[in-house]
Amino acid sequence: MITVKQLKKRFAKLEALKGVDVSFEPGEVTAVLGPNGAGKTTLIKSILGLVRPDSGIITFDGKELNGDYTYRERIGYMPQQARYPENLTVKEILEMIRDLRNYPEVQDEELITMFNLQSEMNKPFKTLSGGNKQKMSAVLAFLFCPDVLFLDEPTAGLDPIASSKLKDKIITEKKKGKTIILTSHIMSEIQELADKVVYLLEGNLHFVTTVDSLLDDTGQPNLERALASKLEGVAA
């Protein structure tokens, strides 16, 4: 679905991406990992069209991105922090986003029910708890049945029940053939959800492997220890 070839990006003296090659496939959850400053955000924002790379090629469903923004209609994005007009109610925000997307016929409102958000619809966004703001962000990411989902720390701030429901939703969408790109600092979450790990380090692609292969190769019982073993001796 998405292929990145020799992607480079520099911010003044900081070389954020140094020629990254990676692909994200349908029916897979790919976790993009790495320490702070590794290039994760720059890579994701480049694919989303929020950062213009200095060089390299990004293809989306076989078509090279060349400034055409219409591909973004096929993407659902859940940012780490939900930021929407604070004085609008939940219902008004949903209507605003639907207006911006020209009211697509097919909409997925399952998470509204799963999260029991019906009672929150007439409340101003600013009055919602942190967890409910996160739920709202998830609803909007999945709402238009996108082919690709970018989920940035999706369970941050969610209670265990809501977190479990969101994970179930992610797994369901993967089984439908969606391309899902995930970032998280919770390694147990990555181990539970991800098929593949893309690890960036200092702007370079350090390794790409499946979660199962990483566990097998290191002989470790969980992903956190497997990554620690894999990265032992490597400067972070």
Confidence at residue 173, expressed as pLDDT on a 0 to 100 scale = 97
**Cα-flanking dihedrals φ and ψ of residue 200, to 5°?**
-105, 145
Token pair, residue 124, equals 């101003």
Token pair, residue 107, equals 């909409």
Q: Domain locations in the chain?
A: 2-81+147-230
Confidence at residue 236, expressed as pLDDT on a 0 to 100 scale = 44
How long, in residues, is the chain?
A: 236
Of 96, 84, 94, 79, which Cα lies nearest the Cα of 125? 84
Q: At what angle do helices 130-142 and 160-175 cross, to 10 degrees?
A: 10
Of 151, 99, 92, which Cα lies nearest the Cα of 124? 92
Which pTM value belongs to this model? 0.92
Q: CATH code for 2-81+147-230?
A: 3.40.50.300
Which stretch of DSSP H or E encloses residue 154? none
Of 141, 42, 40, which Cα lies nearest the Cα of 84? 141
Reading the chain (236 residues) residue by residue, the pLDDT tens digits are 899 999 999 999 999 999 999 999 999 999 999 998 899 999 999 999 999 999 999 999 999 987 788 899 999 999 988 889 999 999 999 999 988 887 777 899 999 999 999 999 999 999 999 999 999 999 999 999 999 999 999 999 999 999 999 999 999 999 999 999 999 999 999 999 999 999 999 999 999 999 999 999 999 999 999 999 999 866 54
**Cα-flanking dihedrals φ and ψ of residue 32, to 5°?**
-100, 115
Token pair, residue 87, equals 């004085």
